[in-house]
Amino acid sequence: MIDNKNFFLAMVLAMLILFGFEFFVKVESQPGQHAVEEAARQAQQQAQSRTPTPGAVPGAPVAGGAALPAITIPGTQPSPSGAQTKALGRANALLESPRIKIETPRLHGSIALKGGLIDDLTLVDYHETVDKKSPEIIILSPKGAEHAYFATHGWTGAADQPVPGPDTVWAADATTLRPDSPVTLSWANGKGLVFKRTISVDKNYLFTVMQSVANTTQAPVTLYPYALLTRYGTPDVTDFYILHEGLLGVLNDQLTEIKYKDIIDAKAPTSQPSKGGWIGITDKYWLAALIPNQSETVQTRFLHRKEGKVDVYQTDYLGAAVTVPAGGSAKAEGRIFTGAKEVNLLDIYSEKFGIARFDLAIDFGWFYFLTKPIFLALLWIHGVIGNLGVSILVLTVAIKTLFFPLANKSYKSMSKMKKLQPEMIKLRERFSEDKARLNQEMMALYKKEKVNPASGCLPILVQIPVFFALYKVLFVTIEMRHAPFFGWIKDLSAPDPTTLFNLFGLIPWSPPTFLMIGVWPLIMGITMFLQQRLNPQPADPIQAKIFLYMPLFFTFILAPFPAGLVVYWAWNNTLSILQQWVIMRQMGMDAKQALS
């Protein structure tokens, strides 16, 4: 029974690696609940160890490692008495402030002059549905709207000098921000300081914010630059462990990921200094990120608060002290990324501005060294072929070709085991009451026929990381979103829209979600069943039943997955069946023997 046990073990290990390995690795490689709680505890202890001044927020960022109890970043305080104003519709919220229009090839939106917030952005190239006339994807929304989401830069820290705040109304030198036309906002505090904020934007998704302060007084003034990104409400997430959605950043060259529920449970901000890097909030396909000057050390924070019943999430950073001399001026620069997580674009920004590991905004997972090259290969093939579904098929063939020698070794071993099954059945019947003798006779048979029961398992296990990386690529790539295949598959990132339970649309009835078993999931299930039949069958009745129902189980499990993943799985099974069938025929097995 060694053959059956080894094969069964290989299948179990493959499933564990495919669906579980990354989960356990990511738990250890990123801040999970315990790490967040520990950081929160330390932040709380730091806050309690100093005496905050009126209006300061305990646990506020520090600059250069020194405690700054009087420094408050706007937006970190809850509403008075926990009050919450009724959320406005997005259109009405946009009317609450005069605005500067944003027009770029890839962005539409506006900047609020009240508060100087970048708080209204939609993506020109991405829509809510496959219909190009459907609304553009909304990235940022104004303060006061139901799902407010905005970013800004500013100054803080002066005890005797007013600084621009959330209610400051800025003056602008233009009415529209374009890639070739920056906009400068200005505001004088009436006590000798003039603040300016020059905002420029490129042709994609990157804003550059240059802040300046002119000091017309007779004394120097010390200020601290900051940037913040605030999101109201917990968004709907995919909630699948192989994909991170929530707060994240690269701090001191290390990726940090914190789920929404973990930052809520932490009860206090998490804070750490970082030289360069970036910090933000990610969805499956979209990212908003703050990017400080990469040569400077800033104090970063992830935090959560409640406003009434609404969860509010914020990422921010505080820069080192900037002294504005009497009669002089000072500047501070930062950037904001708000857009689609396109790997080539992120790489361009990373190289151009020295942004540390910016591509990790895409959740490449633990197998980064495999996942990203596979990702880039898929994009290259797509650029040549023009159909992402066909590109998936071509890439799968290329990977199968790469592993052809290993797969051949595995399939030859399994074919030998399959060919020996009649002899093994006779041995089991003959020595059914003597397990020790049975094992001895089976080992003698393996030795005589020169068969190694384990040789079919190891080549399979070697291939698992690569195929998991491909699986990951197909799950996270934005290029698959709304990409058509053929026929009824109009969106490879959505489940197959057909279902067996209304005869694929012939019956005018919409089955519940768990009965949405479409054509491609059925094809995948059939190919899995056929591949299973080509493998040596377990002698143990319980194992046999598990293997019998496994294709049906996976058909239901994978039916709600993106169609691109199911197409890949079915195609990979088909290629494996063809390769294994050829080997079996070469070994003199007929169809009946192969499928028995």
* Average pLDDT rounded to a whole number, residues 463-469: 79
Angle at 162 between CA 161 and CA 168, to 5 degrees: 165
Which residues make up the CATH 2.70.98.90 domain(s) of the chain? 31-366
**Structure confidence at residue 454 (pLDDT):** 62
For 63-98, letters b (16+ CB in 10 Å) and e give beeeebbebbbbbbeeeeeeeeeebbebeebbeebe
> If you classify domain 31-366 with CATH, what class do you get?
mainly beta
Of residues 503 and 140, which shows the higher confidence score?
Answer: 140
In the chain, what is the straight-line distance between the N-terminal and C-terminal CA atoms, in Å?
A: 17
The yes-or-no verdict on residue 37 having pLDDT over 50 is: no
* Average pLDDT rounded to a whole number, residues 456-462: 64
The yes-or-no verdict on residue 539 having pLDDT over 80 is: no
Question: What are the tens digits of pLDDT across the range 179-190?
Answer: 999 999 999 999
Amino acid at 335: R
Beta bridge partners of 338: 288
Give a three-class secondary structure readout of 284-307: CCEEEEEEECCCCEEEEEEEEEEE
Contact 364, 282 (CB under 8 A): no
Using CA atoms, how far apart are residues 377 and 371, in angstroms rounded to an integer? 10
* Average pLDDT rounded to a whole number, residues 122-141: 95
Strands 322-324 and 310-318: unpaired
The yes-or-no verdict on residue 94 having pLDDT over 60 is: yes
Q: What is the pLDDT confidence band of residue 74, given thresholds at 50, 70 and 90?
A: low
**Structure confidence at residue 455 (pLDDT):** 60
Question: What are the tens digits of pLDDT across the range 397-420?
Answer: 998 888 888 777 777 777 777 677
**Structure confidence at residue 392 (pLDDT):** 93
Beta bridge partners of 6: none
